[in-house]
Amino acid sequence: MQRSYAESITIAASPESIYALVSDVSRTGEWSPICRRCEWEDPDNTGVGAQFTGFNETPQRSWQTRSTVVAAEPGRAFAWEVGEGYVRWGYVLRPVDGGTEVTEHWEFLPAGLEMFARRYGAEAPAQIEERTRAAHQGIPRTLAAIKDIAEAERHTTDPPAAPR
């Protein structure tokens, strides 16, 4: 199984509104199948270098992660790395007819593979495979949920139609 994965969806909303949604990590629990919530270390600092804690849960376990924002380009891209450069997650936004193509990407980085080898020893390949499978299964669910939220919010913030 590949140690990186990306999938895209078209959402009927502007790149700016989608960026505002996905870069507000305090809302991650609304769309993530594993991350229940995130909290900014400093809510006034949400750009590159900002840090946040993710509170994650599966039926087998719950855990926390600390992440650092590594890309914050309004209307274009938002990404973060978990731990000390273990895994990179992010979104790339591209305007298209009818809205925005949103690509969610995920990659197990070399430092993450090394950390798993140290932490899990002979069990590392199975643990890495489990995390990889979760990412591959979670990304399409996450994108579908972001689409539903973004399109619903777009309809509640659109100006009223002009009278005829």
CA distance 46 to 137: 28
100 within a domain of the structure (yes/no)? yes
Assess whether pLDDT exceeds 70 at residue 28.
Answer: yes
Please state, in angstroms and rounded to a whole number, the distance separating the CA atoms of residues 36 and 57.
Answer: 7
Report whether pLDDT(53) > 80. yes
Q: Which domain holds residue 12?
A: 4-32+73-156
* Inter-CA distances, 74 with 22, 25, 31, 61, 92, Å: 10, 14, 20, 34, 10
Computed from CA positions of residues 121, 106, 34, 54, in that sequence, does the dihedral angle turn out positive or negative? positive
User: Is residue 93 within 8 Å of residue 100, measured between CB atoms?
Assistant: yes
Placement of tokens 């809302």 in the chain:
27
Q: Give pLDDT tens digits for 82-123.
A: 999 999 999 999 999 999 999 999 999 999 999 999 999 999
Is 162 part of a structural domain of the chain?
Answer: no
Asked whether 116 and 140 are in contact (CB, 8 A), the reply is no
Is residue 135 in some structural domain?
Answer: yes
Assigned domain for 40 exists:
no
43 inside domain: no
For residue 151, tell me if it sits in a domain: yes
Query: What per-residue confidence (pLDDT) applies to 155?
Result: 64
CA distance 85 to 30: 25
Helix axes 15-22, 124-157, angle to 10 degrees: 130
Q: What is the CATH number of the domain that holds 130?
A: 3.30.530.20
pLDDT surpasses 80 at 142: yes
Q: Which two tokens stand for residue 19?
A: 């960026």
Helix (H) or strand (E) holding 141: helix 124-157
Confidence of residue 157 (pLDDT cuts 50, 70, 90): low
Contact residues for 87 (Cβ-Cβ < 8 A; gap 6+):
81, 106, 107, 108, 109, 112, 131
- Asked if residue 86 belongs to a domain, the reply is yes
| Per-residue pLDDT at 154 | 78
Number of domains in the chain: 1
